[in-house]
Structures are given as C-alpha cells and as structure tokens.
Amino acid sequence: MEFVDLHSHSTASDGTLPPAEVVRRAKEAGVVGLALTDHDTIAGLADAAEEAGRLGVTFVPGIEISAVSPVEGGTLHILGYCIDPQNDVLREMARQLIEARDNRNPQIIAALQKLGIEITMEEAVVQAQGGVLGRPHIAALLVKKGVVKTSKQAFDEYLGTGGKAYYDKERLAPGDAIGRIRQAKGLAVLAHPVQLRTQNDAQLQQVIKDLVDLGLAGIEVIHSDHGAAEVEKYAGLADRYNLLKTGGSDFHGSNKKDINLGVANGRRVPREWMDQLLAASRK
C-alpha cells in the first residue's frame, strides 16, 4: 500500500530538521506524499516543495494554526492544506500570529527567571534557529541547562497549561482560522481531535458540527496521539459529516524523539486520503 504523511514540522517552526531535510527523510521512510504543516508560518514551504519536486514526492503545502478551543482545557489546532503561499490574507495572518508569540515568549522567560532559572530570550531565540519560537524550543533549552530531564517534564512542570511559567498566547477564533485558510484557497482540517479533550461523544459531535458550519473540510483521523478507538471514531464522524479524512505523524525531529515520519502510532496513512484532499482543493 502506498502511504503518505500529512502532518510534519521543520525548523521553520518547532521541528529540528530544515524543510528540505524533512522531505528527504520522508522519502527515505517510503512516503509518496508529504505535507509540511509548520505552526503559524509558511516560511518552509518553498524549500520543501523544491526538494519534493527533485525527489518525486508529492508535496502538499500546509500550515497549522492554534485557535481558541471551544472546550475548556482543550487544544484546538486547525490544519490548512493546499494553501496558496503567496496569498496576502495568509501572510498577514502569519505575521499576526508570530506577533502574538512575540508577546508571550518574553513573559514565559520572565516567569522562569522569577523562579530562579537562569535563562534569557537571546538563548531562546538562538535555540529556535531562526524558526518560529515556540515552547518546545524553551523546553529543549531547559533540558540543555539541566533544569529538567526531558521536554515532557518541562511541559508538565513549567510550560504546559497550568505549569509554573504557563502563559497563553492570543489566538484566532475558530471561524477566523478556518475563514482565512479558505480565503487562501485552502482546505481547513481539524487536527488531532483527541487533544480537544471533549467530555463525551455528544460534545465532540457538537464541536465538529459547529466547525463544519464555519467551513471545516476534514478531520485528521490518523495521528500519533490516536489509538485504535479514536481512529475508528473520527473516521465514522468524517463519514457522517461528509468530511475529508487526513492523517500524519506530527513529526518534530528530535523535539519529539518517539515520532518518525510516515507512521503514526503504528499506522500508515493511505495515499488515497491525500488524493482526495488534492481533488477537493481543485474543485
């Protein structure tokens, strides 16, 4: 079976490999199609597309946007696929989102300093290697400094929701995120629905129904955080609401060591899902 990976991150955001290298590794892992979906940025798409062209891998330009979660304590990420990287609405949105991060990151660093940890914004910026600075970079820095042993511990104690140095960033409303993706000729897909942390199936269905009304086109069914029960449930919901199915590893390089390209919690994403996505984008 031919398989693809429709969720990956590069050094343009919080992955550890440059965009072209992500494509090369994906090819080595045997995928026939790849989407690069960096947080809040399209800066990696041109390099990745060029390398994909060279290697004969089908490339799907993508982005991952954090939106206000309709569920308390949950995470809502929207993937945008087949977006036009030249689109002005998209570029302006990326600029705004990075500005929101520029407001948050110094607050996180200041909170860590207050806790007695020697850390500076300059170090965090270096850690991000020119990419969009996110919490995984700060987590990596805390590991490097010996403050914590693992990135997970950094999130649990300091950076995650409720952590000692937790700060939220300004987020787009779900309708704004979806709307801007659509204005950029893209398809909006609900990323890793398990992270919504809905209380029950009725609540999950309501959230999906609301997102569909806002223009959602698909659901990420296969993901590294999804077990068999989730995959089955989300596939069923995609069918019920006539949505596209997508899937991917959410590869971040060595920032998430247990995740490899081309496989998501032991599962492969069939090539047909990418083909259906591409067909929908041409309509």
* Residue 77 site contact among Zn ion, ligand AMP, Fe ion, none (CB < 5 to 8 Å, cut-off depends on kind): Fe ion
Q: Cβ 55 to ligand AMP, closest distance in Å?
A: 26
Report in angstroms the alpha-carbon separations of 192 from 39, 105, 141, 151: 14, 24, 26, 20
Of the candidates 158, 154, 163, the one whose C-alpha atom is nearest the C-alpha of residue 255 is 154
* Residue 245 site contact among ligand AMP, Zn ion, Fe ion, none (CB < 5 to 8 Å, cut-off depends on kind): none
Question: How do beta strands 244-248 and 269-270 pair?
Answer: unpaired
Taking CB under 5 A as the criterion, the residue among 3, 4, 5, 14 binding Zn ion is 14
Question: How do beta strands 244-248 and 218-223 pair?
Answer: parallel
The mark string for 55-74 relative to Fe ion (x by CB under 5 A, - otherwise) is ---------x----------
**What is the number of the residue whose Cβ is closest to ligand AMP?**
134
* Residue 25 site contact among Zn ion, Fe ion, ligand AMP, none (CB < 5 to 8 Å, cut-off depends on kind): none
* Residue 152 site contact among Zn ion, ligand AMP, Fe ion, none (CB < 5 to 8 Å, cut-off depends on kind): ligand AMP
Rounded distance, CA 161 to CA 127, Å?
22
Q: Where are the beta strands (DSSP E) in the chain?
A: 3-5, 33-36, 58-67, 76-81, 187-190, 218-223, 244-248, 269-270
* Residue 80 site contact among Fe ion, ligand AMP, Zn ion, none (CB < 5 to 8 Å, cut-off depends on kind): none
Contact call for residue 250 and Fe ion (CB under 5 A): yes
Contact call for residue 180 and Fe ion (CB under 5 A): no
Rounded distance, CA 188 to CA 192, Å?
13
| Closer Cβ to Fe ion, 97 or 119, answer by number | 97
Contact set with ligand AMP (CB under 6 A): 14, 39, 134-136, 151-152, 155, 160
Q: What is the DSSP letter of 14?
A: T
What is the Cα 178 distance to its own chain's centre?
A: 14
Contact call for residue 38 and Zn ion (CB under 5 A): no
CB count within 10 Å of CB 241 equals 15
| Closer Cβ to ligand AMP, 171 or 271, answer by number | 171
* Residue 51 site contact among ligand AMP, Zn ion, Fe ion, none (CB < 5 to 8 Å, cut-off depends on kind): none
Residue carrying structure tokens 């914590």: 148
Binding site for Zn ion (CB under 5 A): 14
